[in-house]
Amino acid sequence: MTKPFSVREVLLRVQAVLRRASSSGEATPATVVFGRLRIDYTAHRTWVDDQEISLTALEMRLLWTLYQRRGRVQSRGTLLDDVWDADPEEQHRTVDTHVKRLREKRAQPATMSRPCAGVGYHLRAEPWARS
């Protein structure tokens, strides 16, 4: 971290490190099924309707983060901090671009939405059977 820095930035970074450290001890299930979506996070593989789709490492981390927090809205700043380890104060469209790519790859058939313009994204608490 370069000087000068704000106390708020130090606190945010410490919280992010503590959050990552506490979540790393949790057991990750081998494969999860969420409606038509199946994710094997440890093998870095994803299927929709038994058809495998190829995801980049960042797309996989974004999808997994949204899955773990399904039913709760995640702001762009939160996703930037947790998935990209980027400064949440930066206002760029990285999150939007990656969500768009996930949709194009059909990694999120009818389960991801923007609940309010400018707020963020969420994965529905319960998947839809068909979209």
pTM of the model: 0.70
Which residues, other chains included, contact 130 with Cβ-Cβ below 8 Å and sequence gap of 6+? 36, 110
Identify which has the larger pLDDT, 27 or 43.
43
Per-residue pLDDT, 40: 92
Q: Is the pLDDT of residue 65 over 80?
A: yes
